[in-house]
């Protein structure tokens, strides 16, 4: 299946207007380090094809655009390289890397398994403090969803999943899950713009937390796998969201 095979009618348009747009606004933007703000802007431009595969990132131009030194720009570029969105070539610079749909699906498959395992272990091992952090993250996701703020939900969703990793009691698993989460976060953000996806995501979060709080590892694992998997309709949503971003 190609990107063009799936209609994009259900995709909500991204906020902003590409390279000239700020990724976030208000207190959320001011609370984040400048390097993270730059990273988010560049990340958004890459996954929406405002920056084409193979395009070189000009550090000086980016620094002028954000009115900063080149230090936070380099930090942002290093973060994007860690996420697999750009490639850094010695003595040549940083270039936008094209990520194929097949590669994305493979990463989501692994992510589903890692998250499922983390949920199962969290249901068995979560300390009261870790469970409280997870429940607080769920409340924050609910507040963002109530405001229909996909950008805010995106950040709260990241905290929610990290709370699960931290609750699983396995530092190696948590580190691997966070690493892959970073690589997929831009595409998970795109999926949140599918009509009704944020509402569905919140409902899935509620079932996940209920299972973990009840100590039901089997259900927590099953719910998290389904939450992350991109099979069936979810696969069509991913294809459509990537396709809509590319147009």
Three-state secondary structure string covering 104-150: HHHHHHHHHHHHHHHHHHHHHHCCHHHHHHHHHHHHHHHHHHHCCCH
Q: Report which of 59, 62, 56, 58 is spatially closest to residue 19, judged by C-alpha positions.
A: 62
Pick the range with the lowest mean pLDDT from 30-44, 91-105, 163-177. 30-44
CA distances from 5 to 45, 100, 102 (A): 23, 15, 15
- Average pLDDT score over the chain: 82
pLDDT above 90: percentage of residues in the chain? 55
pLDDT score, position 212? 98
pLDDT score, position 48? 74
Quickly state the pLDDT bin for 33 (edges 50, 70, 90). low
Q: Between these two residues, 229 and 128, which has the higher pLDDT value?
A: 128
Q: Which two tokens stand for residue 140?
A: 């924050």
Pick the range with the lowest mean pLDDT from 96-100, 121-125, 132-136, 176-180. 96-100
Q: What is the DSSP letter of 93?
A: E
3-class secondary structure, 88: strand
Q: Between these two residues, 80 and 23, which has the higher pLDDT value?
A: 80
pLDDT score, position 29? 41
Q: Are 23 and 16 in contact (CB under 8 A)?
A: yes
pLDDT score, position 191? 78
Mean pLDDT value across residues 46-58: 86
Q: Are 32 and 24 in contact (CB under 8 A)?
A: yes
Model confidence at 50: pLDDT above 90? no
CA distances from 116 to 25, 28, 161, 165, 173 (A): 33, 30, 11, 10, 11
Pick the range with the lowest mean pLDDT from 26-40, 75-89, 118-132, 135-149. 26-40
d(CA 179, CA 183) in angstroms, rounded, equals 7
* Residue-wise pLDDT tens digits, 170-226: 999 999 999 999 888 888 887 787 778 899 999 999 999 999 999 999 999 999 999
Model confidence at 22: pLDDT above 80? no
Model confidence at 4: pLDDT above 80? no
pLDDT score, position 2? 33
pLDDT score, position 87? 93
């Amino acid at each position: 299946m190609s990107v063009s095979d799936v209609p994009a009618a259900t995709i909500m348009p991204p906020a902003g207007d590409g390279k000239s747009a700020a990724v976030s606004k208000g207190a959320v933007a001011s609370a984040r380090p400048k390097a993270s703000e730059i990273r988010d802007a560049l990340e958004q431009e890459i996954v929406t094809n405002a920056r084409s595969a193979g395009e070189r990132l000009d550090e000086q131009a980016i620094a002028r655009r954000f009115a900063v030194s080149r230090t936070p720009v380099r930090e942002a570029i290093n973060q994007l390289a860690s996420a697999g969105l750009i490639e850094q070539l010695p003595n040549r610079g940083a270039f936008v890397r094209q990520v194929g749909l097949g590669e994305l699906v493979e990463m989501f498959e692994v992510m589903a398994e890692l998250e499922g395992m983390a949920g199962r272990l969290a249901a068995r091992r979560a300390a009261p403090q870790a469970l409280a952090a997870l429940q607080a993250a769920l409340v924050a996701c609910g507040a963002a969803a109530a405001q229909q703020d996909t950008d805010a939900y995106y950040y709260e969703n990241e905290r929610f999943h990290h709370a699960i990793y931290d609750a699983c009691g396995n530092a190696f698993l948590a580190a691997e899950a966070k690493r892959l989460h970073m690589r997929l976060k831009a595409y998970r953000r795109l999926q949140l713009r599918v009509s009704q996806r944020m509402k569905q995501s919140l409902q899935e979060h509620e079932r996940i937390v209920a299972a973990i709080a009840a100590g039901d590892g089997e259900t927590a694992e099953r719910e998290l796998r389904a939450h992350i998997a991109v099979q069936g309709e979810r696969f069509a949503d991913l294809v459509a969201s990537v396709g809509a971003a590319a147009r």
